[in-house]
Amino acid sequence: MRELPRVRYADCNSSEASEETVIAVNIGGVKHVLYGDMLNRYSETRLGQLADRATDCAQDLSALCDDYDSSKREFYFDRDPEAFRCIMELYYCGEIHMKRGICPMCFMREMDFWGIDAEYLDECCTSSLHEVETELAEIAEKVKTILDDLEGDATANRVQRCQVFLWKLMEKPESSLAARVIAIVSFVFVLLSSVVMCVGTIPELQVQNADGHLVEHPTLECIETACIIWFTVEYVLRFISSSNKVHFMFSFMNIVDFLAIMPFYVVLILTHLGTAMMELANVQQAVQALRIMRIARIFKLARHSSGIQTLTYALKSSLKELGLLLMYMGVGIFLFSALGYTMEQSHPETMFTSIPQSFWWAIITMTTVGYGDIYPKTTLGRCNAAVSFLCGVIAIALPIHPIINNFVIFYSKQRVLETAAKHEIELMALRAKEEVQGSPDDGKMAAQRTRASGGNSSGWDSAAVNASHSDTYIPLLGDTAKGSKRQPVHKCKDS
Amino acid sequence: MDKPSAGMSKVGSRSTASLPPEPADIIRSMSCYRRVKLNVGGLPHEVLWRTLDRLPRTRLGKLRDCKTHEALMDICDDYNLDDNEYFFDRHPGAFTSILNFYRTGKLHMMEEMCALSFSQELDYWGVDEIYLESCCQARYHQKKEQMNEELKREADTLKDREGEEFDNTCCSEKKKKLWDLLEKPGSSVAAKILAIISILFIVLSTIALSLNTLPELQDTDEFGQTTDNPQLAHVEAVCIAWFTMEYILRFLSSPNKWKFFKGPLNVIDLLAILPYYVTIFLTESNKSVLQFQNVRRVVQIFRIMRILRILKLARHSTGLQSLGFTLRRSYNELGLLILFLAMGIMIFSSLVFFAEKDEDDTKFKSIPASFWWATITMTTVGYGDIYPKTLLGKIVGGLCCIAGVLVIALPIPIIVNNFSEFYKEQKRQEKAIKRREALERAKRNGSIVSMNVREAFSRGAELLDVVVMDKGERTQDNHLSPSRWKWSSKRATSETSSNRSFNPDQGSPNKATASSPQRLNAQKLEEMYNQMAKTQSQPNLNTKDRCTSRAGHRKDEIELGALPGPGDPLNGGREGVVDMKSLSSIDSYISCATDFQENPRFPYSSAGGLSFPESSRFSHSPGSGLSGRVRANPSLQPTMEHETMLTPPCSGAKPPNTEDLRQQSLLGNAHKMHSVRVNHRNCGETSPLGGPRSDSSILSDHSILSPEVSVYTTASSRTPPKTPEKKGSTGAVFTFHDASISKYIDADTDDEEHLRESGPSDRLLGGLSSKSRLTSAYQGGTNHLEAAQRLLGQNCLFPLGSSPGNAYENHVASENSRRPKGDRGYSSSFDKGL
């Protein structure tokens, strides 16, 4: 076994070129005959190294290939033969195309094995790879959050444990029955306060105060106060239980919460102290302005509805399209209001008194609302209106499509992600468990096998064996807390 | 097609000749190679032993631990120690992914792979689906759930159809006719006309309802109140009378009154006619002026309810029905839409209220008052009764318009998607139903002798249900499955037969007598095959036919497979019984001939069931076409033989039959064949002179050559041609197959599950008996279940007439065969002739 390659080596030298090197490889049962010069084009790849060292002794080679048949001078690789066919294209054509139907991640693994950089993958195939990668990244993110939730810090002291408990109670409705009840109560309060806000403005339900101003009905005010108290308590508890106060303060939902309760207290302060500092009228104006901010509480609903969260997510990710929409609308409004203004000039009783005034008309026409408070009267103006209507429909419809697309994608992904993350966690737990159980088992097995086959190892080898987790887990691997991360899952599985 | 055959012959060379190798040989062979060749469905793979050892609990992992021939045969379908090659009769495509799992530790799934078939492969190889990587897992589960949903829906519709079955009361015939007339416009011309008349009445009554409110057409009554126009009132009365009659007739003819009462369409019907009667009742009973005002108000309300009759059109329109269904199914998205709108309305109305409230004579008096404005603006209707006047208000208004367009547009595509999906599905189902009805009509006309599709179908549905129920209590005997497997409840596909056969317990009873049911007389088989190949000159012609029929047959074999108790493979199925009616006229021969067309399929299907537990799933796989053809040939034999038995007018006597049966049972004891019943209706009376006949009946080649038989075979020429001399056949049956194939394919998926439910041996015996069951069912016109019961009842009729030599023969070569076991399957039926 040792002799043969050396002889070859000598041969190669004598024929003064490695072009002559012919390498027979057996990839999972499919045999190929490869030429050394071709493989040397990419010498950093596994096959390239093989071609380099084909002449070395067998021991060195065993690191490169899985088995070596000295009689046939055949290198055996325990890999997917079909993927290898695609891999071979690199040597022939200089680029790789993925096998149709194969999972991109799987193919990347093959490329890894053969020591081929991902950049050799042709453009046409990278898009699908990226798609899968982003999906996996999302799943990993989700898994991470779930794991974070599960992480019960055993080292935590009493206060911290209380904090975590409170946090779960307030933020994770699905964690326990009490948390769910709290979520429902909170939802009801949001609805109630919104209704109260609306009903409070109905003139029939208002009462006159001492100054003859109409103010809200006292009972409504009581309800309002109750709601605000609930909101405040909720907010404070959340704040206390949050582990990262700064992060808490600046997250979107908490800003909304804050804005929902803040006006009430400001109004309270102003009415009690403000009169001393400024004019009564000013105070009242300020109070009025702050009232508008009460609307913010409607956004609190978003906390309880995944649909609205999806909407905000979709809108956030399609800001560009929204900008496009506004730009189209802006251009259209300018154009058609100016046109409408000039065309309507001839009419004596024109409703288009100025261009800024006809902006309103343009908006209403382009969005096909058409109140009819302003409408063109001349023929030319009507033609203009018709055109502006058509343009408006198109200007809205075009940029809206990508936004809708985003929304639909997020909407459908939301459900998939959930199951995928759960599956991922189970898979991780399973693998972790197997690792634990497997170690004694493996030992036994290994002994048995070695006796039988003279093989050198059992279990997955180097590349595969960081494999107690799946591909998705790899981004998480970077975490230093790898061990502690896997543990909680394990624990929760056992329990 | 070539590959497997090549593998077959190569492998066969070993298996036919020698005895099973010693365990020592096996161990030596395993230890002296580092690698192993795996031939999966003709595709060769080579893999290191230690790669396989990574998953020791899977099928491939266990391969290494096998020390004996039996253990090896349990795991692989065939092997060749000299070549260090193991053969698995599975789909090669899926195996690539699975082998990669051994190599890399990552289980990925090929994109074009069907999720169901992949899961079956996973089950076979003993790999748990939890190992699927996340990137493929989502796709896998989505597809699987989709499939399961579809299957469930299919089963539901079938059950619905089944529910329409009428009990055997005196007027059931008339009732059924009436029901068809009223409920199935497609069933006859009269029904169609009725449907059209019904639609006309609906349209007429709605028009009358609208015209009634025209002031010019209204009369004034003695109180100065406007009332209906008398002519229109007559029209109304007539319409209502029609509706009432329709409803009552429907109700009377409905097979299940309560279900009828609950049906949404019938509720609509009732709501359409009730208001009229209530109105009449109220006006007649409260003539006194005192209560008149109140009554009038109530009457007005009921008058509005009359408009519900427009919904009656839904009965006649698939589009409306699917609209209703879509709305029901996408209530989530509808809720989202309404939520978005509500939020938008809230926000913008309060904004505009604060912007506009200081204007003089503003119409935005309060937030609730401006709700109306916000709604009209967000939906871009824009009446113009309220509109903002201040600059701030106008800005809010503009934003409101754009936000409204956005918010409404977002959830709608999801709903649209639901709708289009459902609509497509509905269309597909309508077509399927039409096909089914056409098939039934054809059956009624006699152009096809039964297949009893409906029954088979319904049974399939039931079994599916059983499977669905079972899956809950299924134990997790999957080798790698973790103790808590999340999706297990969702897996409608239950344990595969492969898993069972994998399980050593399952095979053991058979092993006690013969080595395994799967291994039969291969030599004989080959012989027969060659013989048949001679007689059969156009195998390719048949292949397609075989394929089409196979789906249908699986059903039959399922029914049969369910019969034997799992515990008595040896005793339960000893006696072979043949159910035959005496055939005294040429007509009956013809019917026999049509039957013949059924018969050939049974051995085929049995073989399919036995040897290719999944071959049905991979009807496209290269091997199946071949094996289909192969099986087609011998299938001819048994039928021929039966015909010969019947040929002499005074024959059909007991002795030959029993003789024959004994031989059958000899075979049967190896693989527990059972449940064929002899039904000597006339034969028993005729003189028992079976002696001479038995020869010809037993030797199938003779029967082919014998003149009488050829006569009868020409009589049976309507069946698809099996042999050259029967070329004169026509397409009657053929077309039937073509028409029905797609349906079978529709139903295919259920069957797989049932197939796999029954162990291989069960299947074999089911297949064997299926022929006779078919004959009994079709000729005697009895239904399958009945036949089955009879079979059970006659279990001990023919207590294993054992001729040891024959039995011996059966088992001698049992382990040699390395042909696809499909062949072995039929050999059992085939040996009867020898």
Window 25-44 of B: residues touching A by CB (8 A cutoff) are 30-31, 34-35, 37-38, 44
* Each residue's pLDDT tens digit, A217-266: 888 888 988 999 999 998 998 888 888 888 888 888 888 888 888 888 88
> Complex ipTM, two decimals?
0.73
For chain B positions 653-692, those within 8 Å of chain A (CB to CB) are none
pLDDT for A333 equals: 92
pLDDT of residue A331 exceeding 90, the answer is yes
DSSP string, A25-63: EEETTEEEEEEHHHHHTTTTSHHHHHHHHTTS-HHHHHH
Place of tokens 């007509």: B587
Distance from CA of A13 to the nearest CA of B (A): 32
| pLDDT value, residue B18 | 54
Q: How confident is the model at residue A332 (pLDDT cuts 50, 70, 90)?
A: very high
Which residues of chain A does B134 touch, with a Cβ-Cβ cutoff of 8 Å? 135-136, 139, 420, 423-424, 427, 470-472
| Block residue for tokens 């302003």 | A374
Instruction: Tell whether the model's pLDDT for residue B627 goes beyond 50.
Output: no
- Facing residue for A459 by CB, picked from B54, B137, B411: B54
pLDDT for position A79? 81
> Can you tell me the mean pLDDT for B198-213?
87
pLDDT band at A464 (very low <50, low <70, confident <90, very high): very low
Selected for mutation to probe chain B from A31, A80, A103, A129 (highest B CB count within 10 Å) is A103
Q: Give A190 to chain B, closest Cα distance, Å.
A: 12
Which of B3, B95, B103 has the most A C-beta neighbours within 10 Å, making it the best mutation to test the interface with A?
Answer: B103
Of A292, A298, A455, nearest to B346 by CB-CB distance is A298
B35-40 β-sheet, strand order? B43-48, B35-40, B85-88, B78-80
Cβ within 8 Å, pair A470-B106: yes
Q: Does A135 touch chain B (CB under 8 A)?
A: yes
- Region of poorest pLDDT, from A271-280, B58-67, B69-78, B464-473: B464-473
The mean pLDDT of chain B is 62
Q: What is the mean pLDDT of residues B278-290?
A: 70
pLDDT recorded at residue B73: 81
Percentage with pLDDT > 90 across chain A: 8
A424 contacts in chain B (CB < 8 Å):
134
- Are B50 and A198 within 8 A, CB to CB? no
Cβ neighbours of A288 in B, within 8 Å: 354
- The alpha carbon of residue A56 is apart from the nearest alpha carbon of chain B, in Å, by 22
Alpha carbon distance B623, B5 (integer Å): 8
A277 burial class (0-12, 13-18, 19+ CB within 10 angstroms)?
A: exposed
Q: Which pLDDT value is given to residue B222?
A: 63
pLDDT band at residue A456 under the 50/70/90 scheme: very low
Query: What pLDDT score does B76 carry?
Result: 81
Cα B768 from chain centroid (whole Å): 22
Predicted pLDDT at B374: 92
Residue A431: per-residue pLDDT? 78
pLDDT winner (highest mean) among A93-97, A399-403, B100-104, B716-720: A399-403
Cβ contact, residue pair A202, B369, below 8 Å = yes
Tell me the residues of chain A between 416 and 445 that have a Cβ less than 8 Å away from chain B.
416, 419-420, 422-424, 426-427, 429-430, 433, 445
**Mean pLDDT along residues B250-274:** 84
Residue B639 is predicted with a pLDDT of 39
Nearest to B686 by CA among B646, B726, B731, B642: B646
**pLDDT at residue B606 in the model:** 39
Identify the band that residue A27 occupies on the pLDDT scale cut at 50, 70 and 90. Answer: confident
Q: Is B47's CB within 8 Å of A28's CB? A: yes
Q: Which residue has the tokens 């297990």?
A: B488
Mutate which: B47, B343, B351, B410, vs A, most A CBs within 10 A: B410
Instruction: Determine the residue of chain A that is closest to B27 in CA distance.
Output: A452
Percentage of chain A beyond pLDDT 70 is: 78
Q: How far apart (Å, rounded) are the C-alpha atoms in residues B227 and B219? A: 5
Is the CB of B106 less than 8 angstroms away from the CB of A369?
A: no
Residue A338: per-residue pLDDT: 92
Count H helices and E strands in chain A, helices first: 22, 6
What is the rounded CA–CA span in Å between residue B107 and residue A365? 57
Burial (Cβ within 10 Å: 0-12, 13-18, ≥19) of residue B622: middle
User: Do B126 and B132 form a contact (C-beta atoms < 8 A)?
Assistant: no
Q: Which residues contact residue B711 at a Cβ distance below 8 angstroms, ignoring those fewer than 6 apart?
A: none
Phi, psi (5° rounding) for residue B677? -115, 140
Mean pLDDT of A376-391: 91
- Give the DSSP letter string of B127-178: --GGGB-HHHHHHHHHHHHHHHHHHHHHHHHHHHHHHTPPP--TTHHHHHHH
Residue with tokens 């189902």: B429
Q: Does the pLDDT value for residue B261 go beyond 80?
A: yes
The more confidently predicted of residues A392 and B490 is A392
Contacts of B397 in chain A (CB under 8 A): 360, 363-364
Query: What kind and span of H or E run contains B761?
Result: helix B760-779
The pLDDT confidence band at residue B375, using thresholds 50, 70 and 90, is very high
A367 vs B340: CB contact, 8 Å cut-off? no
What does residue B463 show for φ and ψ, rounded to 5 degrees? -65, -35
Contacts with B, A 23-82, CB within 8 Å: 26, 28-30, 66-67, 76, 78-82
CB contact (8 A) between residue B134 and residue A472? yes
Q: Report which of residues B277 and B511 the model is more confident about.
A: B277
Work out the average pLDDT over B554-566. 42
pLDDT at A275: 63
Please say whether the beta carbons of B388 and A370 come within 8 A: no
Could you tell me how many helices (H) and strands (E) chain B has, helices first? Answer: 36, 6
- Residue percentage of chain B with pLDDT more than 90: 3
B26, B69 contact by CB (below 8 A): yes
Residue (of B468, B639, B459) closest to B555 by Cα position: B459
Q: Per the CB < 8 Å rule, is B106 touching A106?
A: yes
What pLDDT digit, counting tens, does each position of B292-323 carry?
667 777 777 877 787 888 888 888 887 888 88
Place A386 in a pLDDT band, splitting at 50, 70 and 90: very high
User: Taking the model in full, what pTM does it have?
Assistant: 0.59
Say if the Cβ atoms of B53 and A458 lie within 8 Å: yes
Of A233-237, A420-424, B411-415, B656-660, least confident by mean pLDDT is B656-660
Give per-residue pLDDT as tens, B345-365: 989 998 898 888 888 888 888
CA dihedral B157, B159, B160, B162 (to 10 degrees): 130
B505 in A contact zone (CB under 8 Å)? no
pLDDT of residue B529: 53
Residue B702 in tokens: 């003779």
Query: Measured between CB atoms, does A329 come within 8 Å of chain B?
Result: yes
Q: In this model, does residue B493 exceed pLDDT 90? A: no
Query: What is the pLDDT confidence band of residue A420, given thresholds at 50, 70 and 90?
Result: confident
Put simply, whether A132 touches B (Cβ < 8 Å) is yes
Q: What is the pLDDT of residue B714?
A: 38
Given an 8 Å threshold on Cβ–Cβ distance, is B104 in contact with A460?
Answer: yes
pLDDT per position as a tens digit, B795-817: 433 434 344 444 344 443 334 43
Q: Give A307→chain B minimum CA distance, Å.
A: 6
pLDDT digits (tens, 9 = 90+) for A45-70: 888 777 776 665 656 666 677 777 77
8 Å CB contact of A102 and B482: no
Dihedral angle at the C-alpha atoms of B151, B156, B157, B161, nearest 10 degrees? Answer: 140
Contacts of B36 in chain A (CB under 8 A): none
- A86 and B CB contact within 8 Å: no
Q: Report d(CA B205, CA B239) in Å as an integer.
A: 6
Lowest mean pLDDT among A280-284, A400-404, A483-487, B320-324: A483-487
CA distance A295 to chain B (A): 6
Picking from A360-369, B316-325, B820-829, which range would have the lowest pLDDT averaged per residue?
B820-829
The predicted structure's pLDDT at residue A327:
92
Give mean pLDDT, residues B159-167.
60
Query: How far, in Å, CA of A412 to CA of A310, rounded?
Result: 10
Q: Tell me what the mean pLDDT of segment B45-51 comes to.
A: 82
Dihedral (C-alpha) A437, A443, A446, A452: value to the nearest 10 degrees? Answer: -120
d(CA A12, CA B92): 40
Distance CA A302, CA B292 (A): 52
The pLDDT of residue A156 = 62
Residue A334: the pLDDT is 93
Nearest to A301 among B343, B349, B371 (CB): B343
Which one of B85, B133, B146, B340 would you mutate to disrupt binding with A, by most A Cβ within 10 Å of its Cβ? B133
Amino acid letter at B54? R
Q: Would the pLDDT of B788 be above 90? A: no
- pLDDT of B484 reads 39
A433: chain B residues, CB-CB within 8 Å: 482
Whether residues A423 and B51 touch (CB distance < 8 A) is answered with no
* Residue A98 DSSP one-character state: P
Taking only residues 341 to 380 of chain B, the set having a beta carbon closer than 8 angstroms to any beta carbon of chain A reads 343, 346-347, 349-351, 353-354, 357, 365-369, 371, 376-377, 380
Structure tokens at A10: 């000598």
Mean pLDDT score across all residues of chain A: 76
Question: What's the one-letter identity of residue A240?
Answer: I
Residue B123 dihedral angles phi and psi, to the nearest 5°: -60, -40
Of B407, B741, B751, B355, the closest CA to residue B555 belongs to B751
What percent of chain B is modeled with pLDDT above 70? 47
Mean pLDDT of B322-342: 86
Average pLDDT, integer, range B376-393: 88
| Chain B residues 116-155 with a CB less than 8 Å from chain A | 130-138, 141-142
State the pLDDT confidence band at B438, using cuts at 50, 70 and 90: confident
Task: Please write the tens of the pLDDT for every residue from B389-410.
Answer: 888 899 999 999 989 988 888 8
Residue tagged 């009868």 (tokens) = B712
> B638 and B700 in contact (C-beta within 8 Å)?
yes
**In angstroms, what separates the C-alpha of B595 from chain A's closest C-alpha?**
44
Chain A CB within 8 Å of residue B339 CB:
yes
Q: In terms of C-beta density within 10 A (0-12 exposed, 13-18 middle, 19 or more buried), how is residue A373 classed?
A: middle
Q: Structure tokens of A25? A: 């490889």
